[in-house]
Amino acid sequence: MAIRSNRSDAIFHYRMKDKFLIRGLGGKKGLTGTIKVSGAKNAALKVMAASILFKDDITLENVPEIEDVKRMSDLLTHLGCSVKHIRPHTYNIGCRKKINTDLSNEISKRMRSSIVLLGPLLGRFGTVSFPHPGGCVIGERPIDFFIEGFKKMGAVVHITGGARKKTYSLSISGKKLRGATIFLRTPSVTATETFMMAGVLAHGVTTIQNAALEPEIKDLADFLIRSGAHIKGAGTSTVIISGNGTLTARGPYITMPDRIEAGSFIILGALCAKHLEIKNCNPEHLSALLHILESAGVTLTIRKTSIIISNGHHGAKKFKIINVKTHEYPGFPTDLQAPITVFLTQTKGEAIVFETIFEGRLGYTESLEAMGANITPMDAHRVLVKGPAILRGRKLESPDLRAGLAFIIAAIIARGDSTIHNVYNIDRGYEHIEDRLRAIGVSITRVGN
């Protein structure tokens, strides 16, 4: 166990030291070509966790080759599951026998999505222990919904350790979790997914009220239903699960396109592409962003699985500035808040960006200010952006994966050279981002330590 933790640490330290060197376009419309969207991180990670609900192996295709997927593989391997990376983008995962149910400290502390393992582990083996999960530093990120919900489902909870070093041990006294009605005070994505998976192996009916509506939840439910689960209402605010025992895979899970990656590429295209085609995406999942961009005056051609942006010779200055307020799906995604703020720095006028989901997700705007953006913090949830501003290349530190990609976009439109440190944070969610951006005309190089 210790060996694996040390190995993971070594990887983290090594990758943390990579940086990107980016030569900015200085306001030119320099990008052209086609960019393909990868499979969705936040869908693949949940299906990997769902492998514990199955009595046989499951195969996942179109899985993004990103650090978070590697960490989830490490986490499952550490538990005793068999994880085979059979070819690029394809994994085979099996948890046939009784496995260890203590989540690795090192990995869980770094990855919020480790929390979704609670449902499958408690449901199948009746016990789980884990540290307070980590992940991107974007706010407090409590786990009270999980603790309260599992108590209702019959789990006994023991918490040890002080404020920042808490370890939680959950176990059930009976043979199975029992179905319960769980009301989420806020529609939480991972809580909805976790209780949906727990409900599959629970005794009786589990009802999740005020559930989150994100498309990754319905995608997970569809795969589970295809494998024998009884789930109704996924993708609506009430999800009802009738426990029906372990599942049997009937064909592979094909990871849906990453709507956040697609949205970030669309914003990049709106800012500095002559002609850019974003392929392998699902425009239906991007309505909030597309509505804002179209209202701002961006010309988009929307096809079934691709979006084309043609800017001609006009600059982003011609775009109308628009207020943005993040909201649970189908509202504007918090994960696109940083990229859209970069967009707003280039439009004419004043707009408020209102981050309603997380209280610590605007810290990155200080770095945009250092690049020349005119951004004034209003409170923990709101900033005022005045545009257009000329951005200049800077040394930047990627604070989390979504703001990291926003910094890449800012560096591409800026005048001069930028260096982006903490590239590990970007690699957590975006596959070979530098190669894909270089192919459409971005001057970007990865430099190791």
Note the residues at the interface with ligand EPZ (CB under 6 A): 41-42, 112-113, 136, 139, 141-146, 186, 188-191, 212, 334-335, 357-358, 401-402, 429
Closer CB to ligand EPZ, 112 or 436, in the complex: 112
Please state the closest distance from residue 400 (CB atom) to ligand EPZ, in A. 6
Closer CB to ligand EPZ, 150 or 343, in the complex: 150
End-to-end CA distance of the chain: 28
Phi, psi of 448 (to 5 degrees): -80, -175
Please state the closest distance from residue 335 (CB atom) to ligand EPZ, in A. 5
How would you write the chain as a 3-class SS string? CHHHHHHHHHHHHHHHCCEEEEECCCCCCCEEEEEECCECHHHHHHHHHHHHHECCCEEEECCCCCHHHHHHHHHHHHHCCEEEEEECCEEEEECCCCCCCECCHHHHCCCHHHHHHHHHHHHHHCEEEEECCCCCCCCCCCCHHHHHHHHHCCEEEEEECCHHHCEEEEEECCCCCECCEEECCCCCHHHHHHHHHHHHHCECEEEEECCCCCHHHHHHHHHHHHCCCEEECECECEEEEECCCCECCCCCEECCECHHHHHHHHHHHHHHEEEEEEECCCHHHHHHHHHHHHHHCCCEEECCCEEEEECCCCCHHHCECCCEEECCCCCECHHHHHHHHHHHCCCEEEEEEECCCCCCCCCCHHHHHHCCCEEEEEECCEEEEEECCCCECCEEECCCHHHHHHHHHHHHHCECEEEEECHHHHHCCCCCHHHHHHCCCCEEEEECC
Please state the closest distance from residue 170 (CB atom) to ligand EPZ, in A. 14
The CA distance from 27 to 313, in Å, is: 11
Give catalytic residue positions: 136
Please state the closest distance from residue 180 (CB atom) to ligand EPZ, in A. 16
Please state the closest distance from residue 354 (CB atom) to ligand EPZ, in A. 14
Q: How far is CA 132 from CA 49, 127, 163, 171, 396, in A?
A: 18, 16, 10, 17, 29
Half-sphere exposure of residue 300: CA atoms within 13 angstroms, side-chain side: 27
Closer CB to ligand EPZ, 214 or 277, in the complex: 214
Closer CB to ligand EPZ, 45 or 437, in the complex: 45
Closer CB to ligand EPZ, 75 or 189, in the complex: 189
Please state the closest distance from residue 41 (CB atom) to ligand EPZ, in A. 6
Please state the closest distance from residue 163 (CB atom) to ligand EPZ, in A. 17
Closer CB to ligand EPZ, 276 or 353, in the complex: 353
Closer CB to ligand EPZ, 186 or 248, in the complex: 186
In the block, residue with structure tokens 């059979």: 86
Closer CB to ligand EPZ, 177 or 184, in the complex: 184
Which residues lie closer than 8 Å to 3 by C-beta, 6 or more apart? none
Please state the closest distance from residue 342 (CB atom) to ligand EPZ, in A. 16
